[in-house]
Homo-oligomer: A and B are copies of this chain.
Amino acid sequence: MVSPAEDIRVAVDLIVLTLREDALSVLLVQRDDEPHRGAWALPGGFVELQEDLDEAAYRVLADEASLGSGAVHLEQVRTFGAPHRDPRGRVISVAFMALGADLPDPRRGDDVADARWWAIDELAAIDLAFDHADVLACSIERARAKLEYTTLAVTFLPQEFTISQLRGVYESVWGTTLDAGNFHRKATRTEGFLLDLEKHAAPTGGRPARLYAAGPGTSLVPPLLRSGD
């Protein structure tokens, strides 16, 4: 069977999300080549022949963001393949979302003029390269939705955390405020969500908060809905 698609190339694009000072932020790189030279874009790269899709994503994560695979939760979002999304030719891109706690400032990679974290709210002002604004919007909506019915929020936090910090994740990602008391009850009473470490954090001007770690569960039943919006 002869392939009619020999000139299609396959890439992965990464939407690396973290919380920086309570703001949901994404890692962008400034392009050093045409097309879109000087524009900000999602980190990405072509898939190699002997490499699975998520291996490619991990490789790009290491190359362009100096992040090891242990630091993040990686998840496929969607594949984007409009014929002219890349002016160089036909490129189909598999978008991966990477969520991590307190990720470091990026070091500069190849083909890249600069790399930095952007708060989501800052991005209304700038134009992203290619269709990356769509890809990003799709991923952020996915992340927001998955906080509702999975335990994904803990991936934004260090190994040990307090309920207040966990609530802060929900508030920052959703852009809402939540009732502290009701959230506390809901989080602590949901089976499998949290592991009580039976110790306390250093106090920060009030009663010291109990420390928790991520529990064994991955889904939240019943879900934690952002109903009030």
A90 in the interface (beta carbon within 8 A): yes
Q: Which of B4, B51, B82 contacts A48 (CB 8 A)?
A: B4
Decide: A33 and B94 in contact? CB cutoff 8 A.
Answer: no
User: By DSSP majority rule, is chain A's interface helix, strand, loop, or mixed?
Assistant: loop
Which residue of B has the minimal Cβ distance to A82? B52
**How many copies altogether?**
2
Q: Once bound together, how far apart are the Cα atoms of A45 and B207, in whole Å? A: 62
- In this complex, the interface size class of chain A, counting residues with CB under 8 Å from chain B, is 20 to 34
The 3 closest A-B pairs by CB, nearest first: A53-B81, A79-B79, A5-B46
A-B contact pairs, 27 of them (CB 8 A): A1-B111, A3-B9, A4-B48, A4-B49, A5-B10, A5-B47, A5-B49, A6-B6, A6-B7, A8-B9, A8-B10, A8-B49, A10-B10, A10-B81, A49-B83, A50-B83, A52-B81, A53-B81, A53-B82, A53-B92, A76-B78, A76-B79, A81-B94, A92-B94, A221-B227, A222-B225, A222-B227
Q: A: which residues have CB within 8 A of B?
A: 1, 3-11, 33, 46-53, 76, 78-79, 81-83, 88, 90, 92, 94, 111, 221-222, 225, 227
